[in-house]
A and B are shown apart, each in its own frame.
Chain A
Amino acid sequence: MQTLCFQGLTKAYGGVPALSDVTLTLSAGRVHALMGENGAGKSTLIKLIAGVVAADRMTVTRDGKTLPLRTAAEATKAGFRFIHQELNIVPQLSVAENVLLGHPAPRRFGMFIDWRRMQDKAAAALASLGAEHIDVRQQAGALATGDKMLTRIASALVAEAGAAEPCLYVFDEPTAALTASESTKLFDVIARLKAQGAAVLYVSHRMNEVLQICDDVTVLRDGRHVLTTEIAKTTRVEIIAAMTGKPVSDAIPARTTPVGQGVACRVTALDTRDLSGLNLSLAEGEILGVAGLDESSQTAFLRLILGQGRIQKGGLEVLNGPAPTSPEQAWARGIAYVPRERRSQGLMLGMGVRPNALFPHLVDYGLLADKRAEVARTRGLADQVRLRFQGTEQPVGQLSGGNQQKVLFARAIAKNPKLLLLEEPTRGVDVGARAEIHGLIRALSTQGSAVILASSDLVELLGLSDRILILQGGRQMAVLDRQAMTPADLLARIYASEAA
């Protein structure tokens, strides 16, 4: 195969156009980025080429020959493979079973599962990704997030008898749930697939990744095609302008005021079940970045300050007092938290913007609800975070990812927190919202709020943080001054700690 051409992609939902006459041409051996803000039509496009949603209009040709593509089965038959943002593995099953999930299991005597052959097949698929280290007999739930991703991709690699060799891989926000190092492994895999001669369609919000690994880029806006070009011939600014329709800088606002004098948080020789040897102090208004290869110890650190977890040894002083013993206490003392997974850990998706923004602060409105005051406060907060929504009672599940994140920020800043705990505040958020969230964090810091920012986005970490804590396996590896550091330096330090 040389080229795969999708022409005239059109789809409307209930009369509202989601995609209008978009054309996309993919070439073998090239990685093609698909970009656009939330709601630009990226997901619709993927659903159409996956055959899960019927197009109103679409012509598909491979090397000039028409390809039928009306059902998911036809997409598989054509050699298309899809790797989605959610890690669809079944945690109770073995890796081998997960890799072969959805494929007929090899059998003995036509009845019993041939475990040996199943494991061989799964191991071969993993090996082709350079993931020989994964034991196929292990339970998939026990894998690290990155290995889950590899398992999922391996599952896409397994060819069914009679199906064409994979000719197109579609990655939909694959790094959204990965750490920096896991992302790097993924990029190796993509390079490998590319070298094997497949076309890759790569959907991401992350500008740096796109610039790093993609050859071409197509930008959609409001369901229309705006730009297709080679990465080498374009710039970050041009792509952002194409996505937003107006020039927006993704530059992160720099510090303009000095860090405060008071201490917001002091950690001395701290050990917990998940953390050990933590020693640092955080000044008022300071932004402490937290980086590292495993997310779980970052979460454990932030949650400890939020009052979850037990101190085994050492001291933790928060806002001139002892560490809170419950999230309830933490919020009451002016600590606010934006969790890593906004959908599963942050929001009540079925409920409106108003309750979501105000839940930690309900007592302020009295024992009996005062709806009018709540609505007014919600509107004020929404203005502050520049929330785009239809009304205070609109369920947050209907908002875009960026706006959902802003609701969490509205909740966090509602009472001018003295200490703000952030995990991945811009994950899966479009460029415009990302810039606004960065502006908010900087503004809070300027007002004197101390911020602890755990992120896998190195640009974000370097742009906002005053210092960066590197955690590895729960241990404090270093606290770095971010000045004069580049993402490459930071990555090198992170890897150095992994090797240590």
Chain B
Amino acid sequence: MKRTILGSVAALALSAGALWAENVAVITPYLAQPGTQAYVEGFQAQAAKSGWTVNVIDTAGDVAAVIARIEDAVTQKVNAIVINVDPAQVAAGLQVAKDAGIPVIGMDAGSDPLLATNVTSNGYAMAAETSVYVANRIGGKGNVVMFVFDAFPPVQARGVIADAVFANHPDIKVLDRVTPDVQDGGIADSRAKMEAILAANPEPGSIAAVWAAWDQPALGALQAIEAAGRQGEGIVITGIDANPQAREAIAAGGNFEASVAQDFAGIGAAAADAAGRVMKGETIKEPVIYVSTVMVTAVNAAQ
């Protein structure tokens, strides 16, 4: 991964940043996560076209350090700052940047008045796509198991949409609304919960579909169904995010039929575009810029 233009020990020997180029700091506590890496790569690719100097700073999970690094970037007088963290938590740093007149762009960060704008995927739309897919595939009737997680706001929003879609079909019954324990990543506990539900509903056809608010419970449910030998009943499973493991399962053509992929690189690129606009002096009116998502099914899962 090409990380920064000057990002190496060599920078110790060179002077700090080139004065003629636009200097942008990308600050995140979550660089170790695959999604964040994709955002940053997309951002860097776009930034390279414009010839910017990009400094990517990972604080390894430490949110207070994000504030510290924003302050440092302000001291260093960068032209713009991009963050990938909840803006409410780093408001102290955002205020410093605002006072110094340095714009901050959110990259899937959450919206906040202190941000010039936030670039993200539309979580409501993603949930609508998969829940409508489920409703259509089961012909608008049957029992559906939902896996949700209301403690985390972005995922909670997905559950609300799916509730609304299923409620709009009188013949669809939500059999259970499960919140799995996510300490171990969510797969193992989701599988255990699904096994219990399968045991409680032994009749073939008594479960028509499993809708999961993200991929891990969908994978857990798939494992439970296969372990119970009930993969032939046509239970439809959907997830959201389309992580590599989910894509593999979808490509295999089993019960796990669909997920929605966020365009991480696209978000990164769009954040770079937004940064370019604000650095030219434009005020972006919309507080959130949505980047479109892609439905992943057996047809395109291998891509």
**Per the CB under 8 Å rule, do A and B touch in the complex?**
no
Interface residues of B (CB under 8 A from A): none
